[in-house]
């Protein structure tokens, strides 16, 4: 059952989404070759607690960490390790927060130094596909419209769209109805209504869409060992239009990137 939120609840969710966005911005300043994902995990946990929130993943479904860190061919659900990150790696960092009883859930794929051009393009297209999906999250549209927008955009580049893992409704639970696949058919699936909040999160592979799970019981990797990218925003349906609650602005500030990509999806000014 889809749980729609009041405007007051959506403001609480914006707070959770902004804490997790800030956390990723802080991590952006720490990410360099030699750092380990376990070190990042500890920094993130402290940062989230210092901001009056709880880590959203820690303990959820038995998750042992604050972050899920997926390096190179890892798609999602990578557990932090003591292996130092290297120049040329990409790392998808997925993070959750819980504050005022509501979850935030947000992910970004970072580059360490110079990465291969084809990998750089995968990240760019995957991030663009996130906005293609968000643009289709409007009153009266359906789950399949978002999935179609993402799939169509990424498959046009020859990329593989992961089927086994999907976006989701977000609220007092990390995973609420509806499931939000990154593939689909226009006009199919549950209808979007005012007050819905969803996490839209394309997981896109450079090669095959097929994936497998490692023996750790968590990490999902591409079947062909090629890189994978993951970007995620929390989005509310307000006045019939998508309103992004999370933001990459803290990451861009840390990395010195100028971008107005989220502007189209804001009905109120972002207060950083």
Considering only the stretches 24-32, 182-190, 194-202, 239-247, report the one whose residues sit in contact with Mg ion under the rule CB under 5 A: 194-202
Nearest to Mg ion of 136, 199 (CB atom): 199
Residue ranges in 86-115 that form contacts with Mg ion under rule CB under 5 A: 94, 105, 107
Residue ranges in 209-238 that form contacts with Mg ion under rule CB under 5 A: 232
Q: How far is CA 61 from CA 64, 162, 184, in A?
A: 9, 21, 27
Q: Quick one: CA torsion of 95, 31, 85, 35, rounded to 10 degrees?
A: -100
**57/224 Cα distance (integer angstroms):** 28
Bridge partners for 74 per DSSP: 221
Q: Is 168 annotated as a binding residue?
A: yes
**2/195 Cα distance (integer angstroms):** 10
How many beta carbons lie within 10 A of that of residue 156, not counting itself?
10
Q: Is 40 in the site for Mg ion (CB under 5 A)?
A: no
Give the nearest distance from C-beta 168 to Mg ion in angstroms: 6
Residue ranges in 109-148 that form contacts with Mg ion under rule CB under 5 A: none
Q: Is 175 annotated as a binding residue?
A: yes
Site string for Mg ion, 54-93 (x = CB under 5 A): ----------------------------------------
Residues in the chain: 272
Q: CA-based angle 211:62:174, to the nearest 5? A: 75
Q: Is 176 in the site for Mg ion (CB under 5 A)?
A: no
Q: Which residues of this chain interact with Mg ion, rule CB under 5 A?
A: 94, 105, 107, 199, 232
Binding positions for a divalent metal cation are 94, 105, 168, 201, 232
Binding positions for substrate are 77, 175
């Amino acid at each position: 059952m889809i749980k729609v939120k009041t405007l007051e609840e959506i403001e609480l969710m914006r707070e959770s989404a902004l804490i997790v966005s800030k956390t990723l911005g802080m991590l952006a300043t720490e990410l360099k070759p030699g750092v380990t994902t376990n070190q990042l995990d500890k920094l993130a946990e402290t940062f989230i607690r210092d901001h009056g929130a709880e880590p959203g993943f820690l303990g959820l479904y038995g998750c042992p960490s604050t972050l899920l860190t997926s390096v190179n061919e890892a798609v999602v659900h990578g557990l932090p390790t003591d292996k130092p990150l290297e120049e040329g790696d990409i790392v998808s960092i997925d993070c959750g927060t819980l504050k005022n009883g509501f979850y935030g859930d947000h992910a970004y794929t970072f580059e360490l130094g110079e990465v291969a051009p084809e990998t750089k393009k995968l990240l760019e297209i995957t991030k663009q596909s996130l906005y293609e999906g968000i643009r289709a999250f409007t009153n009266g549209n359906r789950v399949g419209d978002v999935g179609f927008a993402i799939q169509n955009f990424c498959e046009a580049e020859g990329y593989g769209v992961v089927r086994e893992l999907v976006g989701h409704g977000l609220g007092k639970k990390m995973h609420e109805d509806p499931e939000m696949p990154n593939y689909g058919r226009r006009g199919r699936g549950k209808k979007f209504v005012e007050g819905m909040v969803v996490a839209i999160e394309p997981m896109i592979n450079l090669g095959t869409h097929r994936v497998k799970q490692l023996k750790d019981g968590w990490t999902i990797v591409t079947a062909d060992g090629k890189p994978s990218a993951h970007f995620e925003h929390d989005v509310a349906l307000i006045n019939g239009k998508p309103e992004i609650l999370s933001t990459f602005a803290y990451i861009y500030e840390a990395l010195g990137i100028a971008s107005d990509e989220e502007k189209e999806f804001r009905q109120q000014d972002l207060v950083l």
